[in-house]
Amino acid sequence: MLVLQGVSKTYPGAASRTVLAGIDLALASGEYVAIMGESGVGKSTLLNLIAGLERPDRGSILFDGQEISALPDDAATLLRRRAMGFVFQAFHVLPHLSVARNVALPLLLNGIGKRRMRERVAAGLAAVGLAGRGESMPRQLSGGELQRVAIARAIVHRPSLLLVDEPTGNLDSDTAGKILRLLRDQLHASGAAGILVTHSLAAARTAERILRLTPTGLEPHADSDREE
């Protein structure tokens, strides 16, 4: 469903900086891949390119056969809205919205009817273990709970691709484990493909496949080969 071929990205400026060079990646539906890499190697940029938020300098990114990098901004936005979900390191749950409203945002954007929205939000919250907490405000929640809200928001509109960026960076290891398991379970349950970007091997191991992002490209992780 997602194919990257020879994708390169260079940031212009005085000290022009090549972040990604010659990235090739193929992701099948329902597949869950972890991408590891050192800080600054371009993991986040890779996610932005896949999400259509940035454009590659070279190469192509096909999402369900559609060239994302060729889409105008509005079309890319619509694509994201419909087919993608996001989980961030810093949660990015809107503080002034209740938990339910945060989760409901993608449904609202996709024009889902009110009743169905309520049902799906409730289902989403239940799925992440926050049933009945919909009216809570984010500031009443712990970090782990906030990330659960974020996960619920990422899957509530049933995207076909989940982009997860260092989801446990702000969490303690115990909570992190629970969140990672939850993520994997939700991915499997929804049948969506997922890309987990992390620098933690432990986190990466929750994915089916582990790739390593280096300045020269994307390589299979040795460890994962051994495990397979």
Partner 1 sequence: MLFSELRTHTARSAMAIVAIAIGVAMAYAVHLINESATGEFERTVRSLMGNADLEIRGTEAGFSESVYPLVARLAEVGTASPSVAVEARLSGRADPLKIVGVDVFRAAAVQPGLIGRPEGGRAGALPLLEDDAIFLSPVALRWLGAKPGDPLHVQVGLETRTLRIRGTLAATGEGLRLGVMDIGAAQSCFERLGMLQQIDLSLRPGTDAEAFRARLSRLLPAGVFVSTPAETVRRSSDLSRAYRVNLTVLALVALFTGAFLVFSSQALAVMRRRGQFALLRVLGLRQGELLRLILAEAALQGALGACLGLGLGYLVAGATLAWAGSDLGAGYFKGVAPQVHFDAAAALLFGLLGLASAVLGSVAPAVEAARASPAQALRAGDEAAAPRGLRSVAPGIVAIAAGAALSFLPPIDDVPIAGYLAIALLLTGGIALVPRLARVLFARLPDSRHVPLHLASTQLSGSPGRAAIGLAGILASFSLMVAMAIMVASFRTSFDQWLTVALPADLYLRAGSAGDTAYFSPADQRNIAATPGLQRVEFQRSLPVSLDPERPPVMLIGRSIDAADPASRLALVGTPRHPRSGEPPPVWVSEAMVDLYGYALGQQVFLPLGGRRVAVTVAGVWRDYARQQGAVVIERQDLARFTGDETANDAALWLLPGSGLAATEQWLRQRLANGDRVVYSSPGEIRARSLKIFDRSFAVTYLLEAVAIVIGLAGIAVSFGGQALARTREFGMLRHIGVSRAQIGAMLALEGALLAMLGVAAGLILGGAVALILVRVVNPQSFHWTMNMSLPWQLISTVAIVLVAASAATATWAGRRAMATGAVRAVREDW
- Choose, by CB under 8 A, the member of 4, 25, 27, 54 that binds partner 1: 54
- Choose, by CB under 8 A, the member of 48, 60, 136, 175 that binds partner 1: 48
Binding mask 140-179 for partner 1 (x = CB under 8 A): ---x--x------x-----------xx--xx---------
Q: How far is the CB of 102 from partner 1 (least distance, A)?
A: 10
Q: How far is the CB of 225 from partner 1 (least distance, A)?
A: 26
Give the Cβ contact number of residue 189 at 10 Å.
10
138 is a contact residue toward partner 1 (CB under 8 A): yes
- Choose, by CB under 8 A, the member of 6, 40, 191, 215 that binds partner 1: 40
Binding mask 73-102 for partner 1 (x = CB under 8 A): xx--xx-xxx-xxx-xxxxxxxxxx---x-
- Choose, by CB under 8 A, the member of 13, 14, 39, 65 that binds partner 1: 39
Q: How far is the CB of 227 from partner 1 (least distance, A)?
A: 26
Q: How far is the CB of 138 from partner 1 (least distance, A)?
A: 7
Say which residues have a Cβ less than 8 Å from residue 142's Cβ, sequence separation at least 6: 175
* Cα 103 to Cα 98: distance, rounded to the nearest angstrom: 9
Distances (CA, A) of 32 to 12, 67, 154, 166, 172: 32, 21, 15, 14, 23
Residues that bind partner 1 (CB under 8 A): 19, 39-45, 47-48, 51, 53-54, 73-74, 77-78, 80-82, 84-86, 88-97, 101, 105-106, 108-111, 114, 138-139, 143, 146, 153, 165-166, 169-170
